[in-house]
Chain A
């Protein structure tokens, strides 16, 4: 495969991976207050995403792929909310282990990486059209 096309393919895989990351961040943020439904039950557990590099055999370029979406096994913070349906006998509710600040930072980073990949797509396209322009002169 021609190298510029494979550059486009690699950048597209990067875009896909970063948007998947953004999806996980939005799931975490949306469920930042999702407690359990029965007394003392566990709330939403934060999801984490990791990427792996994978070799594209056709072009020899290294694509990126979503490796695994795991759960964050850190402890749940507890809050005193006796009126909540997930409260235990003492009135404490386990809250999701989602830290909004961390999610925001993660979102920002996903955004930056997405922009960088988009820049690569733009440039590869420009290089291809510069080559095509040779035929016009």
Chain B
């Protein structure tokens, strides 16, 4: 229907970034919790790969296997550096770095959507 599936893709990326932001929030909030393992979301490329082979739900009641919220599931992260005696693997600096990445990604995402939206509008208005 739509020649470029940009809005769907942008929505998906925005959702992914939001889930990542909430994982970062969890890590920072638990930066002083003993025994807490840092979490992250699987990379967006992987999410896209999964979408390419996903099944289409043709009837209500089919279990969705596309890139729904469930496939951005927050996973515990393996950590190979030195671990504190409290068994907490959160490095606040890394989390802030990741937060910066999310911010840049989100800014780019919204800017692209805005640009496409204005193109669409100029087509509609003529």
Instruction: Specify whether A and B are partners.
Output: yes
Interface centre among B26, B30, B35 (most CB of A within 10 A): B26
Name the residue of chain B whose CB is nearest to the CB of A59.
Answer: B22
Count of chain A residues near B, Cβ 8 A: 39
* A109 nearest CB across to chain B (Å): 7
Secondary structure of the A side of the interface? helix
Q: Are B110 and A131 in contact (CB under 8 A)?
A: yes
A63 in contact with B99 given A51-B34, A130-B110, A133-B110 (CB within 8 Å): no
A-B contact count (CB 8 A): 113
Contact of A10 among B26, B34, B95 (CB under 8 A): B26
Interface of B is mostly: helix
B113–A134 touching, CB < 8 Å: yes
Instruction: Give bound CA distance, A117 to B110, whole Å.
Output: 24
Q: Which residue of A lies closest to B99 (CB)?
A: A123
**B28 at interface (Cβ–Cβ under 8 A)?**
yes
List CB contacts (< 8 Å) of B1-52 with chain A: 14-15, 17-19, 21-26, 28-36, 39
Q: Are B25 and A53 in contact (CB under 8 A)?
A: no
Quote the shortest CB–CB distance from A7 to chain B (angstroms).
4
Name B34's closest neighbour in chain A (CB-CB).
A50
CB <8 Å contact, A130 and B96: no
Asked if B17 and A127 sit within 8 Å, CB to CB, the answer is yes
Complex Cα spacing A17 to B92, Å: 16
The CA-CA distance from A59 to B39 in the complex, in Å, is 15
Residues in A lying within 8 Å of B, measured CB to CB: 2-4, 6-8, 10-11, 13-14, 17-18, 21, 50-53, 59-64, 109, 112-113, 116-117, 119-120, 123-124, 126-127, 130-131, 133-134, 137
